[in-house]
Amino acid sequence: MITEGLRGSADLVVGAQDTALALGSGDTEVLGTPRVLALAEAATVAATRGRLDEGATTVGTEVALSHLAASAVGARVRAEARLSRVDGRRLVFDVTVSQVGGGGAALAGGTVERVVVDRARFTSAARS
């Protein structure tokens, strides 16, 4: 069952492949914004894991994310998501990404919207 307040998290040790330089989103060797977003989305997926009807999944539809601070290769980061609004099939999550240890500096925050869809129908439509 999907209810407001569900929580999920996802963890990452920043590697060279996660940097802005490697992802093409900049020319620095710090955690890139595309990887921050992917980690935040992974936390939203974790929040609904095991709670959807058989054959259902969620897909991302809208994101508002502020990337506030840099994180170096080797740093441990955690994304946390909390389901703040359920509107039919539409799910809105508040997300935060923080560095683990060293005071838990906030790296990013925002919202991620996902919609519950039928997995087979969605995949079939994408192939058409």
Sign of the dihedral defined by the CA atoms of residues 56, 10, 67, 86, in that order: positive
The total number of residues written for the chain in this structure: 128
Structural tokens at position 4:
């407001």
pLDDT tens readout for residues 1-22: 899 999 999 999 999 999 999 9
- Residue 97 belongs to some domain of the structure: yes
pLDDT at 38 over 90: yes
Output the average pLDDT for the chain.
96
pLDDT (0 to 100) of residue 17: 98
Which residue type is seen at 42?
A: A
Q: How many domains does the chain have?
A: 1
**Residues 44-69: tens digit of each pLDDT:** 999 999 999 999 999 999 999 999 99
Residue 2 lies in a domain: no
d(CA 51, CA 3): 9
* CATH for 77: 3.10.129.10
Q: What is the DSSP letter of 89?
A: T
What pLDDT score does 113 carry?
98
Instruction: Tell me whether residue 43 is in a domain.
Output: yes
Domain assignment of residue 39, yes or no: yes
Task: Determine, yes or no, domain membership for 26.
Answer: yes
Q: How far apart are the C-alpha atoms of 22 and 46, rounded to whole Å?
A: 26
Whole-angstrom Cα distance, residue 14 to residue 125?
35
Residue 99 lies in a domain: yes
- 94: domain range? 7-127
Identify whether 117 is part of a domain.
Answer: yes
How far apart CA 41 and CA 91 sit, in angstroms, is 12
- pTM to 2 decimal places: 0.95
User: Which amino acid, 104?
Assistant: G
User: Is residue 1 situated within a structural domain?
Assistant: no
pLDDT of residue 68: 96
Angle at 9 between CA 77 and CA 94, to 5 degrees: 100
Q: How far is residue 78's CA from residue 72's CA, in Å, rounded to a whole number?
A: 14
